[in-house]
Amino acid sequence: MQRLSALLLLALGTCATGAHANIRCEFNGKSVNPSNGAETAGLTGLLRCRDENTGQLQREQELKDGKYLGRERFFDREGKLTRERSVNERGNSQGRVAEFWPNGQLKREEFAENGGTVGAVRRFDANGRPERLSFHAAGQEQFAIEYNAAGQPTRLQCPRASVLPEDRKPCGLEGAADTLLYTGAGTRAGQVRYDQGRLLLSTEWTSDGVVAQQMLYEEGRRVHRSFFTEGGKSVLREERIFAPDEPQRFLRDTRGPLHSLRRFGSTGQLIEQHGYANGREVLLERWYLNGAARERSTMTGNGEATRIQRELRDDEGRLRRRELLTAEQFPTGAQQQFHANGRMAQEDRYTAPYARGRTRLEARRQWDESGKLMADDTILEDGSRQRKAGGLDS
């Protein structure tokens, strides 16, 4: 509607400003300047504007008592109808609004209520084949389906209740239905499944015909999966499972609290996993590409009281470090490092958080691979060490 209004203003402006001096407007055979209210005052009937050089009709507008009210029609340079509508007392579109191709075929049709689109909007190509069908109500587009030149659907958006006969089958309003979607060139692009207007499954394919993305409901949760291509096959890259929504979000909505997040390597092996509870992360696990455990972190508490217990391992799965962190990632409490044989190598102790959540190292103990204590130090506030005189293994 905005596009049609802009074209109308351009056409009116062309005649009013005299940008094309060869346009002549007449009313009952008398020359009239349509932008001069004094010349149109009190007139009732049809104003016609023609190209003086060709005599082709360029515009028709209905006048009622000097006001533009009723039918408007616009033509191209060859005199072929390009668009038509009716306007109300406010100058806004009212009723049928239509555009046409140069060959006379209907290009676009909609219905307006005081300038706002209501009901069905249909768009066709120059051969009369449907390109798009939609339905508008309450200022929103509630249903839309688009087609390529072969009549195959390329896009589908469904309402929860039928608004047009064309929505009943593809939107699953007569029972769950799968619909294949295609590109403009006719290759398969995706698949959607609707049941009673609710989108339950959405799958997208690459130009090579392998799955690139999938969204579906499983056990009442939205599941979003993305894939990459490896050796001509689709390999899962990431999976996001959302917590059950109340009120329920649309399937394609990427917002909302998560239940879990998993990432995968090039051969499909799990390399990272996140767990969530009540909208916050409570577990993080990572693996090396060889399958060995790499990291495990658990999160407890809320806000400033959050604590992260983390274990880090080498690529053979051996524990190398264990640490306790604050929400700001500052170390607190015991931080432990281990030798390759599993014995403790070093233990640092940090204070509880103080100003701005910061902590300070206050003690350090070190052992060799046999378990012999090599150092037992107190760390003073200026960073200097105070080694205990006794207590070391002999």
Mean pLDDT of 300-317: 95
pLDDT per residue over 181-218, tens digit each? 999 999 999 999 999 999 999 999 999 889 999 999 99
Mean pLDDT for the stretch of residues 80-107: 97
pTM for this entry:
0.79
The residue ranges of every structural domain in the chain are 1-128, 315-394
Residue bearing tokens 């604590």: 307
Instruction: Give the pLDDT confidence score for residue 352 in this predicted structure.
Output: 95
Residue 217's pLDDT is 95
Report which of 369, 348, 372, 367 is spatially closest to residue 359, judged by C-alpha positions: 348
Phi, psi (degrees; rounded to nearest 5) at 22: -90, 10
> Which pLDDT belongs to residue 1?
44
What integer is the mean pLDDT of 270-285?
A: 96
CA Rg, the chain, in Å?
Answer: 36
Q: For 28-54, what is each residue's pLDDT tens digit?
A: 999 999 989 999 999 999 999 999 999
Q: Is pLDDT of 94 > 70?
A: yes
- What fold does the segment set 1-128 form as a domain? 2.20.110
Span 311-335, average pLDDT: 97
- What would the pLDDT profile of 234-256 be if each residue is shown by its tens digit? 999 999 999 997 677 899 999 99
H-state helical runs in the chain:
2-17, 37-40
pLDDT of 392 reads 57
390: pLDDT confidence band, cut at 50, 70 and 90? low
Q: What's the gap between Cα 192 and its chain centre?
A: 16
The CA dihedral of 18, 20, 23, 24, to the nearest 10 degrees, is 30
Show the CA angle centred on residue 228, arms to residues 227 and 234, nearest 5°. 75
**Distance between CA atoms of residues 60 and 89, nearest Å:** 17
Residue 3 has pLDDT above 50, yes or no: no
Token pair in block for residue 175: 């029972």
Q: Which has the closest alpha carbon to 274: 245, 239, 302, 223?
A: 239
Rounded to a whole number, what is the distance in angstroms from the first to the last CA of the chain? 90
CA atoms within 13 A on the CB side of 325: 14
The model's pLDDT over 346-383, given as tens digits with 9 standing for 90+, comes to 999 999 999 888 999 999 999 999 999 999 999 999 98
- pLDDT tens-digit readout, 114-146: 999 999 999 999 999 999 999 999 999 999 999
CB-based contact 160:180 (threshold 8 Å): no
Token readout for 370 is 């046999």
Q: Is the per-residue pLDDT at 231 higher than 70?
A: yes
